Amino acid sequence: MSMQKITIKKIAKLANISTATVSRAINNPELVAEETRHKVMEILHKYDYTPNHLAKGLVSGKSQTLSLLTPKEGNFFNAFYFRETFLGITVSAASRGYNILIDQSLTQTGDIIKSRFPVDGYIIVSPSEDDPFVKKLEEKKFPAVLVNRRSSSLSWVDLDNQAAAEEAVNYLIDQGHTDIVAVAGKRNVKNSCDRLQGYKSALKVNGILYNEKYVIYGDFSEETTYIELKKLLTKNENITAVFAFNDLMAIGAMKAIRESGKKLPRDISVVGFDDMPPASYMSPSLTTIRQPFYLMGYQASRFLIDIIEKKDQAPLKREFEGELVLRGSAGPVLKK
Amino acid sequence: MSMQKITIKKIAKLANISTATVSRAINNPELVAEETRHKVMEILHKYDYTPNHLAKGLVSGKSQTLSLLTPKEGNFFNAFYFRETFLGITVSAASRGYNILIDQSLTQTGDIIKSRFPVDGYIIVSPSEDDPFVKKLEEKKFPAVLVNRRSSSLSWVDLDNQAAAEEAVNYLIDQGHTDIVAVAGKRNVKNSCDRLQGYKSALKVNGILYNEKYVIYGDFSEETTYIELKKLLTKNENITAVFAFNDLMAIGAMKAIRESGKKLPRDISVVGFDDMPPASYMSPSLTTIRQPFYLMGYQASRFLIDIIEKKDQAPLKREFEGELVLRGSAGPVLKK
DNA sequence: TATAAGCATGTAAACGATTACATAAATTGG
DNA sequence: CCAATTTATGTAATCGTTTACATGCTTATA
Residue B154 has pLDDT above 60, yes or no: yes
Flag whether pLDDT at B77 surpasses 70: no
DSSP β-bridge partners for residue A33: none
| Strand C within 7 A of B11 CB | no
pLDDT, mean of residues A227-233: 97
Stretch A181-203: mean pLDDT, rounded? 95
Count of C-beta atoms within a 10 Å radius of residue B27: 11
Q: Which positions 249-268 of B are in contact with A (Cβ < 8 Å)?
A: 251
**Closest in A54, A86, A100 to B58, CB measured:** A54
Give the chain A residue nearest B255 (alpha carbons): A281
Predicted local confidence at residue A218, as pLDDT = 86
At A265, is the secondary structure helix, strand, or coil? coil
Nearest CB among B54, B118, B283 relative to A117 is that of B54
In the predicted structure, residue B262 carries a pLDDT above the cut 90: yes
Q: Report residue B251's pLDDT band, with 50, 70 and 90 as the boundaries.
A: very high
Looking at residue B73, its pLDDT comes to 59
Which residues have a Cβ under 8 Å from the Cβ of A174 and sit 6 or more positions away? none
Tell me if B8-51 shares its fold with B65-159+293-320.
no
Q: In what order do the strands lie in the sheet with A287-290?
A: A215-217, A180-184, A241-244, A269-274, A287-290, A323-325
Q: Which of B101, B281, B282 is closest, CB to CB, to A101? A: B101
Angle at A220 between CA A218 and CA A224, to 5 degrees: 50
A109 touches strand C (CB under 7 A): no
| Per-residue pLDDT at A255 exceeds 70 | yes
CA–C1' gap, B176 and D28, in angstroms: 87
CATH number of the domain located at residue range(s) B65-159+293-320 in this protein: 3.40.50.2300
Hey, where are the domains in chain A? 8-51, 65-159+293-320, 161-291
What percentage of chain A carries pLDDT values higher than 90?
A: 70
pLDDT bin (cut points 50, 70, 90) of residue B107 is: very low
Confirm or reject contact between A59 and chain B (CB < 8 A).
no
- Best of B116, B117, B139, B140 to substitute, by most chain A Cβ atoms within 10 angstroms, is B117
Assess whether B113 (CB) lies less than 7 A from strand C.
Answer: no
Residues B165-173, mean pLDDT to the nearest whole number: 98
Of the candidates B323, B248, B332, the one whose C-alpha atom is nearest the C-alpha of residue B282 is B248
Residue B53 has pLDDT above 60, yes or no: yes
- Compute the nearest-CA separation of B242 from chain A (Å): 19
Average pLDDT of chain A is 90
For testing the chain B interface, which of A87, A99, A136, A137 should be mutated: the one with the most B CBs within 10 Å? A99
Residues with Cβ within 8 Å of residue A304, at least 6 apart in sequence: A66, A121, A122, A123, A143, A144, A145, A155
The residue ranking higher by pLDDT, A333 or B312, is: A333
B117 and A99 in contact by Cβ < 8 A? Answer: yes
Comparison of pLDDT for A172 and B116, the residue scoring more: A172
**Positions of strand D less than 7 angstroms from a protein CB:** 7-12, 14-20
Look at residue A127 in the predicted model and tell me its pLDDT.
86
Identity of residue B151: S
pLDDT of residue B2: 41
Best residue in A26, A281, A294, A305 to probe B by mutation, most B CBs within 10 Å? A281
Determine the average pLDDT of the residues in A306-333.
93
**Listed residue (A231, A264, A267, A271) closest to A247, CA to CA:** A271
Q: What is the structure's pLDDT at B288?
A: 98
Could you say which DSSP state residue B52 is in? B
The CATH number that domain B161-291 falls under is: 3.40.50.2300
Mean pLDDT (whole number) for B161-167: 98
pLDDT class of B1 with cuts at 50, 70, 90: very low
Q: Which residues are A242's β-sheet partners?
A: A181, A270
CATH class of B8-51: mainly alpha
Q: Which residue of B has its CA nearest to A255?
A: B281
Q: Which of A320, A242, A334, A319 is nearest to A288 (CA)?
A: A242
Q: Render pLDDT for A8-41 as a digit per residue (tens, 0 to 9).
A: 999 999 999 999 999 999 999 999 999 999 999 9
Alpha-carbon distance of A301 to A66, in angstroms, equals 8
What distance lies between CA A221 and its chain's CA centroid?
Answer: 20
Residues of A in contact with B116 (CB under 8 A): 50, 53
Q: Sorting pLDDT into bands at 50, 70 and 90, what band is A130?
A: confident
CA distance B158 to B321: 9
CA angle B36, B22, A105 (to 5 degrees): 115
Asked if residue B256 lies in contact with residue B218, where contact means CB atoms within 8 angstroms, the answer is: no
Going by C-beta distance under 8 Å and a sequence separation of 6 or more, which residues neighbour residue A163?
A198, A321, A322
Any A CB within 8 A of B4 CB: yes
pLDDT band at A131 (very low <50, low <70, confident <90, very high): confident
For residues A231 and A163, what is the distance between their CA atoms, to the nearest angstrom? 29
- From the Cβ of B291, is strand C under 7 Å away? no
- Whether the CB of A77 is below 8 Å from some CB of chain B: the reply is yes
Q: What is the pLDDT of residues A72-129, one digit of tens each?
A: 655 444 466 777 888 899 989 988 989 898 876 544 444 434 446 788 999 998 888 8
Average of pLDDT values for A167-171? Answer: 98
Query: Which protein residue's Cα is closest to nucleotide C16 at C1'?
Result: A55
Residue B176: per-residue pLDDT: 97
Residue scoring higher pLDDT (B112 or B179): B179
Q: How far is the CA of B51 from the C1' of C21 (A)?
A: 31
Alpha carbon of B326 to those of B266, B275, B282: distances in Å? 15, 11, 13
Which residues of chain A does B52 touch, with a Cβ-Cβ cutoff of 8 Å? 58, 118
Helix (H, G, I), strand (E, B) or coil at A199: helix
Find the closest chain B residue to A91 by CA distance.
B104
The answer to whether B1 faces chain A, any CB pair under 8 Å, is yes
Q: Under DSSP, is residue A9 helix (H, G, I), strand (E, B) or coil?
A: helix
